[in-house]
Amino acid sequence: MRRWLTETAGGLPRTFWHLWTVTLVNSLGGFVGTFLTLYLSTVRHFDASVIGVMLGGLGLGAVVGTQVAGVLADRWGRRKTLLLANAMTVAVLLSLAVVRDVVGIGLLLVVLGASQNMARPAFSAMIADLIPAAERVRAYNLNYWAINLGFAGAAILAGFAMSLTPWLIFVINAGAVASTGLLVLLRIPETRPTAVPVPDSTRTLKQGGSFAVILRDRVFLVFVLLTFLPSFLMSSLGALLPLQVTARGLTPQEYSWIIATNGVIIVFGQLFIPRLVDGKRRTRVLALASLFWAAGVGVTGLATGVPVFMLTVLVWTIGEMLQTPANSATVADLSPADMRGRYQAMFSLAWQAAMLAAPVLGGLGLKYLGGMWWAVAAAIGVAAAVGNLLAEPSRTRRLATAAKERELTSTRG
């Protein structure tokens, strides 16, 4: 047991564990992300189409926020970008606790999407700055475990907060973000590299500036596109699963137990993922993950009671557990050190574009296709699996070249 714990969590720097704590606290206090749809439908009484547009606005803000933050993280600093994002998020969450009208809430959700997601490129770049390439899957896996360790508790606690006073979800969430901002201010130093060599694998790309470089990186852009497809499924579930559950006559409290299944499975299973995938090709791991997503969302349309909904969550959660650390490590390995923030921002664009598209398209699909929408979603997962397999040769060559260049740079240093 001690050996397993050492292999899983040992040897990582103290600053990483401070970042890990930030992740855990934000996730545990992340009530709004879990219950926003139910708040808008059961407390504000907005219909499904309005909610879809509002959640699409959240995604639109996320798209803008991540791209701005990517540039800030590389040019201004990771730490300053995190502090700015935290301050903005606290202000918006407290405003949402008191605003009642549809336009005001909609505009605030756009800003919330931007501020919450400004932290992502800076945070992920910090981990890549701190952790050697060989340890990144393990580090990102631990970080994702912290997200879900908090999420499992937040899903249940937020249900009780909603039953007491709905606006509490915003106040508690704001308190969590404020506390982590203080931790960043007091304990986490700047990690941005001051000067780095340009690897041969990206030297031909780096003739131009900023995002123009990334737009010429075809291997990375294909990776981003294939990340978008399962991200679309995840965002669809986040927006539509509460509606599907309540349409079957289940209560918000029952939904909280269903969605908490996701966090519980990850809490008890995520730490075993690095050992299970060790030595496996990441592209094939991502293809397998997409098939689990396809199976999970496909059966969601057939579920009627709590046990079957929990089973669907189990299936797509396996896909999530396989996908997330492999994705994070891959984008870190594909990124030049001096452009990690911008590469992370472009990678985040896959998730944020999914947040923008999935609520709107998913809401329309559920309205006009009914249960057939979930079959369409399953087909998207299968397409992602096939795409990853087709992209494997070029991505593998690029990762192998980058690994050799890191070895040469380390030897010269």
Of 2.60.120.1140, 3.40.50.720, 1.10.3720.10, 1.20.1250.20, the CATH number of 14-189+207-412 is 1.20.1250.20
One-letter amino acid at 81 equals T
* Digit-coded pLDDT (tens) for 87-118: 999 999 999 999 989 999 999 999 999 999 89
The per-residue pLDDT of the chain, averaged, comes to 87
> What is the pLDDT at residue 125?
92
> What is the pLDDT at residue 163?
78
Q: At what angle do helices 48-75 and 340-369 cross, to 10 degrees?
A: 170
Block residue for tokens 């896909």: 319
Comparing CA positions, the residue from 250, 261, 272 lying closest to residue 296 is 261
Distances (CA, A) of 389 to 173, 292, 403: 40, 15, 21
* Digit-coded pLDDT (tens) for 36-80: 888 898 888 888 888 888 988 887 888 899 899 999 999 999 999
* Digit-coded pLDDT (tens) for 126-156: 999 999 888 888 899 999 999 878 877 787 7
Please state the rounded mean pLDDT for residues 276-297.
91
Question: CA–CA separation, 352 vs 365, rounded Å?
Answer: 19
> What is the pLDDT at residue 59?
79
Chain-centroid distance of CA 60 in Å reads: 15
> What is the pLDDT at residue 257?
86
Q: How open is the CA angle 268-303-321, to the nearest 5 degrees?
A: 25
What pTM, to 2 d.p., does this model score? Answer: 0.80
Examine the pLDDT at 331 and tell me if it is beyond 50.
yes
Question: CA–CA separation, 224 vs 211, rounded Å?
Answer: 14
Q: What pLDDT band is residue 195 in, cutting at 50, 70 and 90?
A: low
Torsional sign, CA 313, 314, 317, 318? negative
> What is the pLDDT at residue 405?
66
Question: CA–CA separation, 342 vs 339, rounded Å?
Answer: 5
Q: What pLDDT band is residue 311 in, cutting at 50, 70 and 90?
A: very high
> What is the pLDDT at residue 314?
95
Q: What pLDDT band is residue 285 in, cutting at 50, 70 and 90?
A: very high
Examine the pLDDT at 396 and tell me if it is beyond 70.
yes
Examine the pLDDT at 204 and tell me if it is beyond 50.
no
DSSP H or E run through 166? none
Please state the rounded mean pLDDT for residues 279-283.
84
Two tokens, residue 329 = 């490590």
DSSP H or E run through 165? none
> Between 311 and 248, where is the model more confident?
311
Q: How open is the CA angle 232-24-143, to the nearest 5 degrees?
A: 60
Q: Report the SS3 class of residue 105.
A: helix
> What is the pLDDT at residue 323?
93
Question: CA–CA separation, 79 vs 38, rounded Å?
Answer: 34
> What is the pLDDT at residue 259?
84
